[in-house]
């Protein structure tokens, strides 16, 4: 009997040690994901209300190009939002889409599987999608937040299950990435006595257990949009929330508020759940911004953050989507993808490799000049755009234009003070002139012209 009792404590400890050795012995991120609304991958702007759930032949073609890049670069997952709806699940959930839309969604999943990419469905938990249901069933609502279900009402869970059942049972997804905090939380009634992380632990765990009962092998992620992981007193709640979860994404790197040592402790505490971010800083062109209206590479900042994350034990990333119709975005995401597969790679050497692949420079000098153009553009943006961002000017999420509104008159350039904008434009003009000098030294003229186009449009926007 004594031996049995001893084994009761030794076995879990042994398994924990084995898991951690395996995790820290890895040479690449385990979850090398790509995240976004379908529209984020579009090569062209869209003037629908944000977030658009447009899914047509052009969008499918842009998605196919993205999948080819993911396969070629060693990425293994894609998390998709906007396949079914943005804010409005129908009360009869299965009537949210028609048969033609269902066929397109099946095609989206099949295309990824053909390239050995796993498809993760972005899913709101008690929020994101329930607005119409709440309008028709106000008794389900929370009095302090019109976008979320009241989790203390048992009928709310019935509606959440309907969405789970429909998407899990009728489609061939490989997993779910859940968001419960992006639109806030229910802060009244029984929820009022709960901390934010206690609340999110409760509703996410209810979802995790139900999903596991239906699909034991599903990949289950939790996206921390709107959550703050930077308070050590919340550690127990975070541990509870991540039971049975494959990965947790700290979208805005809130855990770093307490420093990297705390983040390392957090990563150990939630094992075997993997921890990660979204390859911050992220650039959101927003769907209506023309893809040639900006040139904002962020690869050096993002790759350094990923290297730090990996060194701390992080093994997950839901890389925020970038359009391949913009050279700054395209090169940034190509470099990030390679770093996710080998975090020990030197960022400069990785950039040189990507540049050779895309632009086909005729010699090493031209390759080095192109690399310098990307680095100087990135440095100039961050030096002169200290007040650009969202969520109280977060440095992790860079909104070039607001999500709401029409046109692009409120561009990120207008948010710079006069001195910063002039300094930024001086750099952009210099880069534009240098790109022109490379015309005869690059074999892929089309890709080089895209850089010139973006730099010219940036200057035009700034002088309006």
What is the pLDDT, as a whole number, of residue 5? Answer: 41
Q: Running DSSP on this structure, what letter comes out for residue 54? A: -
Range scoring the smallest mean pLDDT among 218-232, 367-381, 393-407 = 393-407
**With bands split at pLDDT 50, 70 and 90, how would you rate the model's confidence at 168?**
very high
Residue 457 has pLDDT above 80, yes or no: yes
d(CA 425, CA 450): 18
% of the chain at pLDDT higher than 70: 90
The C-alpha atoms of residue 410 and residue 289 are separated, in whole angstroms, by: 11
pLDDT at residue 410 tops 60 = no
Smallest CA-to-CA distance from 332 within 320, 315, 318 is with: 320
Query: Which one is predicted more confidently, 87 or 232?
Result: 232
pLDDT band at 1 (very low <50, low <70, confident <90, very high): very low
Q: Which 3 state secondary structure label does DSSP give 55?
A: coil
Cα distance between residue 230 and residue 445, in whole Å: 47
Confidence of residue 57 (pLDDT cuts 50, 70, 90): very high
| pLDDT mean over 179-185 | 94
d(CA 360, CA 250): 37
Strand ranges (E), 38-117: 77-81
pLDDT, one tens digit per residue, over 59-98 is 999 999 999 999 999 999 999 999 999 989 999 999 999 9
User: What letter does residue 139 receive in the DSSP assignment?
Assistant: G
pLDDT single digits (tens) 194-223? 999 999 999 999 999 999 999 999 999 999
φ and ψ at 421, to 5 degrees?
A: -65, -40
d(CA 34, CA 317): 8
Res 413: pLDDT: 85
Q: For 330-349, what is each residue's pLDDT tens digit?
A: 999 999 999 999 999 999 99
pLDDT of residue 395: 62
H or E element at residue 246? none
**Is residue 389 predicted with pLDDT exceeding 50?**
no
Across the range 5-28, mean pLDDT stands at 49
Q: What is the pLDDT of residue 406?
A: 60
- What's the pLDDT score for residue 30? 98
Residue 392: pLDDT over 70: no
- pLDDT over threshold 80, residue 324: yes
Residue 409: predicted pLDDT:
55
pLDDT tens digits for 249-292? 999 899 999 999 999 999 999 999 999 999 999 888 888 889 99
Q: Span 39-50, mean pLDDT?
A: 91
| Mean residue pLDDT across the chain | 91
pLDDT at 430 over 70: yes
The C-alpha atoms of residue 121 and residue 249 are separated, in whole angstroms, by 15
What are the DSSP calls for 298-335, one per residue? -HHHHHHHHHHHHHTT--EEEEEP--TTSHHHHHHHHH
- HSE-CB of 343 using CA atoms within 13 angstroms: 25
Q: What does the H/E/C string look like for 27-39?
A: CCCCEEEEEEEHH
* Gap between the Cα atoms of 287 and 40, Å rounded: 7
- Predicted pLDDT at 386: 66
């Amino acid at each position: 009997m004594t031996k049995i009792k001893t084994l009761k404590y030794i076995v879990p400890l042994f398994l924990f040690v084995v898991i951690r050795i395996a995790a820290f012995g890895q040479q690449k991120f385990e979850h090398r994901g790509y995240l976004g609304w379908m529209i984020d991958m579009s090569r062209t702007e869209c003037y629908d209300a944000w977030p658009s759930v447009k899914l047509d032949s052009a969008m499918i073609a842009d998605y196919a190009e993205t999948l080819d890049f993911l396969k070629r670069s060693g990425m293994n997952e894609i998390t998709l939002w906007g396949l079914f709806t943005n804010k409005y699940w129908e009360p009869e959930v299965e009537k949210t889409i028609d048969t033609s839309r269902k066929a397109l969604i099946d095609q989206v999943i099949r295309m990824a599987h053909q390239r050995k990419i796993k498809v993760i469905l972005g899913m709101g938990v008690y929020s994101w999608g329930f607005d119409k249901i709440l309008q028709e069933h106000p008794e389900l609502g929370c009095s302090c937040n019109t976008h979320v279900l009241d989790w203390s009402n048992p009928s709310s869970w019935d509606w959440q299950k309907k969405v789970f059942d429909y998407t899990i049972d009728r489609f061939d997804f490989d997993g779910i990435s859940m968001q419960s905090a992006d639109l806030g939380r229910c802060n009244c009634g029984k929820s009022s006595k709960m901390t934010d992380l206690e609340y999110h632990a409760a509703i996410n765990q209810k979802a995790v257990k139900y999903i596991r009962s239906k699909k034991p092998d599903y990949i289950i992620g939790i996206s921390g949009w709107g959550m703050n992981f930077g308070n050590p007193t919340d550690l127990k709640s975070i541990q509870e929330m991540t039971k049975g979860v494959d990965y947790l994404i700290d979208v805005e790197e809130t855990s770093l508020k307490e420093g990297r040592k705390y983040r390392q402790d957090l990563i150990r505490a939630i094992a075997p759940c993997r921890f990660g971010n979204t390859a911050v800083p992220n650039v959101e062109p927003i769907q209506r911004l023309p893809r040639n209206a900006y040139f904002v590479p962020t690869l050096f900042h993002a790759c350094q953050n990923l290297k730090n994350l990996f060194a701390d034990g992080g093994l997950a990333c839901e890389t925020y989507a970038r359009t391949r119709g913009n050279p700054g975005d395209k090169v940034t995401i190509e470099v990030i993808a390679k770093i996710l597969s080998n975090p020990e790679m030197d960022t400069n050497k990785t950039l040189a490799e990507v540049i050779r692949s895309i632009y086909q420079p005729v010699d090493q000098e031209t390759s080095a000049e192109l690399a310098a153009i990307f680095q100087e553009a990135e440095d100039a943006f961050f030096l002169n755009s200290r007040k650009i961002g969202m969520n109280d000017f977060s440095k992790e999420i860079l909104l070039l234009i607001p999500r709401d509104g029409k046109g692009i008159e409120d561009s990120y350039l207008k948010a710079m003070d006069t001195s910063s904008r002039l300094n930024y434009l001086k750099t952009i003009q210099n880069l534009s002139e240098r790109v022109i000098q490379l015309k005869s030294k690059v074999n892929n003229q089309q890709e080089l012209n895209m850089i010139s186009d973006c730099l010219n449009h940036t200057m035009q926007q700034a002088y309006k």
